[in-house]
Structure 1
Amino acid sequence: MLVHIFGIKACDTMKKARAFLEAQGIETVFHDYKVEGVTADRLSGWIAAVGWEALLNRSGTTFRKLPEADRQDLTEAKAVALMLAHPSLIRRPVLMNGAEILVGFKPETYARLVG
């Protein structure tokens, strides 16, 4: 099984997710969206699958450092523009297994991939 995992290399949650997948013998292709960015089309596909609210990481330092005006009155269009401009605002990891998309890391959810 080959899955694609998107995130930021130095993120602790990413490290846990990748270690879990490796321990289960699942081959991954890693895309560091802080380094490589993320396309508007890919982001739109994720939003269609899980919603922009699930993708926007409001708890991270990147979000907290945004100007107050950027953090207020969020709409999908505003959130998309922010995530494209600041990929660190995308919750991580984003895991794609065929058509299935998982956002965030929970071992019990990831276990479904190998179960």
Structure 2
Amino acid sequence: MLTIYGIKNCDTVKKSLKWLDKHSVDYQFIDVREQPLEKETVLDWLNELPAEQLINKRSTSWRNLSDDQKALTDNNQLAELVAEQPTLFKRPLVKDSDGIHCGFKDAQWSKRYL
């Protein structure tokens, strides 16, 4: 079963959940605003994905960070920052049997989950 992390009012998350429902794919959705992230969870993500793939540098949250925060390279500090500001990670984040993946693209998901 897939675990989907995101925010329920995010358009990309909505599209991805609709896609999963349409194709009858079992998943668990975790809304990170209702169920806050633990630093350890984000650290696990960062151990599997480089920060460049995990962090959404086009987000308003990213633009609002200080230059010092944007320059962080230490995974522990990045994990703490993302746990505090979950809108920083690319959504949806999917944890499946192959690992962790960010984003939604119909063609990629069709290959991976159908």
Q: How does 1:72-111 map to 2 (within 5 A)?
A: 73-77=71-75, 78-111=77-110
> What SS does the aligned partner of 2:110 have?
helix
Q: Retained in 2: the 8 A contact 1:56–1:79? A: no
Q: What code does the residue aligned with 2:54 have?
A: L
Instruction: State whether residues 40 and 79 of structure 2, in contact with CA within 8 Å, keep that contact through their aligned partners in structure 1.
Output: no
* Matched residue count: 113
In structure 1, give the amino acid aligned to 2:80. A
Unaligned runs of 5+ in 1: none
Aligned partner letter, 1:38: L
RMSD of aligned residue pairs (Cα, Å): 1.6
1:39 aligns with 2:47: no
Unmatched runs of 5 consecutive residues or more in structure 2: none
Per-residue deviation, residues 40-62 of structure 1 (Å, max 9, x unmatched)? 22212211222222111111111
- Normalised to the residue count of structure 2, the TM-score between the two structures is 0.87
1:54-88 deviations in Å (ceiling 9; x for gaps)? 111111111112233322x2313342232122111
Q: Percent identity?
A: 27
2:5 alignment partner in structure 1: 6
Q: 1:6 aligns to what SS in structure 2?
A: strand
The 2-side partners of 1:66 and 1:35 are apart by 22
